Amino acid sequence: MSVSLTTPVWKRGLLFVAGASILSLGVACERRPATGGDTADTGEIVIGMYGSLTGDGASFGQSSREATELAVDEVNTAGGILGGRKFKLLVEDDQSKPDEAASAVTKLITQDKAVAILGEVASRRSLAAAPIAQRYAVPMITPSSTNERVTEVGDYIFRVCFIDPFQGEVLAKFAVNDLKAKKAAVLKDIQQDYSVGLTDSITRSFAALGGQVLDPVSYSSGDGDFRAVLTQIRSQKPDVVFVTGYYPEAAIIARQARELGMNMPLLGGDGWVGDALQNGREALNNTYISNHYSGDNPDPVVQNFVTTYTARFKREPDAIAALAYDAVKVLADAMTRANSTDGPKVRDALAKTDVAGVTGRLKINAKRNMEKPAVIQEVTFKDGKVKFVYKTTINP
C-alpha cells in the first residue's frame, strides 16, 4: 500500500498507528538484565507496587498502598533485611486499567530496576501485568487476585490469597447449608476475569450440592442500570442471588434489586470489599460475602495489625489491606532465606514459603497458590456505615 496525499485521512492514521506499534514493540523486546537494583549489594532494595489508586478500583489501590507502606516501614525500622539493607518502595497508579497495569510494571522493572513486584488486586489487571514480570524474571506477588489463571502465567508469579474455585465453593456451601437455598441466580461482570471465574465455580459447586442454578446473566463494569437483568432474575424466583463482580456495581445492584422488591439474600465474593459499597445503604442488609480475614478475630497477630493500621491511617484495615501487608512480609521472608535479591533465587525461596500472617498461615503450594480458610461475613448497614460481621469460617 502506498501512502500518498490522496490516501484517505483514516488510512494514513492507521498506518501511523501501525508504525508506532511496531516501533514500541521493538523497544519492549529489548531486554535488560533485571538485576539493576542488586548491583550495589549494600544499597536499598527497590521493590515496585502497582495498583488502582484511581478509577473504578480506587478503594483496592488505596488500601493496598497504605498496608504495603506500613509493612515496608515495619521491615525497615526493624533493621531491614540481608544485613541492614532497606526496602525502597515505588508505587505506580494503573488507573484501574489493564493496559496501564502492564506499562506500570514495565516501567518499574526496566526503568526503576525493581527486583520484586507487588500487585494487583483485580485479577484482570494482574493477568495483564504478570507476563511482563515473568518475561523479565522478576518475582511478582499478587496480594489478592483470586482468579486461578493468574499464577498459571509462570513460575515467577505468586499469591497470598485463596483462589476462586475455593471461594465459589465456600459461597455455595454457605448458601445451601446456612441459608437453605435451593435455587440460585448468578450475576456476572463479563469484563472481569475475576467475576467470570467466580461465577463458574459458584455454578459448579452449587449444582454439586444439589441446588439449581439459573442461567447466568451478565453486565459490564461501569454499568448503572441493572433493572432489566434483575427483573429477569426476579421472574424466576431464586432463593439467593450471587453478585460476583466488584463493589461499585454491587452497591447499585443491591439498591435496584430492593427497589424491584427482591428481598432475598444477596451474596458476593471478596470483590465487594471497598468503601463505595456503602452507597448500597439499607439495601445491603441481608447480604453476605466471603472474605480473607475478619478484623474482629481475637488472634493477637490480627489485633496488633488492626491497632497499628488504625492508628496510622485513621480507619480500620479491610481484607485487601491485610493481604497487601502479608505480601510484603512474605517477600521479606523469602529474600532473607534466599540471602539475595536475585530473581531466580527469590523465586525458589518464595516457592517454599511457610510463615504466619495476618490472614492466617501462609504456605505456598506447588501451584504457587495458598490453601487458606475463608470467612463468611454478614454485611450490615447501620447509622450510615457498612459493617462486616463475622459469621463462620470455612476450611478448604
Residues that bind another protein (CB under 8 A): 54-56, 58, 95-96, 190, 215, 217-220, 222, 224-225, 227-229, 231-232, 234-235, 248, 251-252, 255, 259-261, 276, 279
Q: Are 389 and 378 in contact (CB under 8 A)?
A: yes
Query: For another protein, which is the closer residue by CB, 280 or 360?
Result: 280
Give the ranges where 236-371 is alpha helix by DSSP (H). Answer: 247-259, 300-313, 319-338, 343-350
3 state SS of 196: helix
Query: For another protein, which is the closer residue by CB, 262 or 338?
Result: 262
- State how far the Cα of 151 lies from the Cα of 378, in Å rounded to an integer: 30
Query: For another protein, which is the closer residue by CB, 222 or 396?
Result: 222
CB of 261 to another protein, least distance (A): 6
The grid coordinates of residue 68 equal 504495603
CB of 285 to another protein, least distance (A): 15
CB of 62 to another protein, least distance (A): 9
- State how far the Cα of 260 lies from the Cα of 211, in Å rounded to an integer: 24
Contacts of 28 (CB under 8 A, 6+ apart): 106
- State how far the Cα of 351 lies from the Cα of 365, in Å rounded to an integer: 7
CB of 290 to another protein, least distance (A): 24
3 state SS of 358: coil
Query: For another protein, which is the closer residue by CB, 213 or 229?
Result: 229
CB of 40 to another protein, least distance (A): 37
Largest CA distance in the chain: 74
Query: For another protein, which is the closer residue by CB, 232 or 304?
Result: 232
- State how far the Cα of 137 lies from the Cα of 109, in Å rounded to an integer: 10
In 152-237, the DSSP E strands lie at 157-159, 183-189, 212-213, 217-219
CB of 214 to another protein, least distance (A): 10
Query: For another protein, which is the closer residue by CB, 174 or 247?
Result: 247
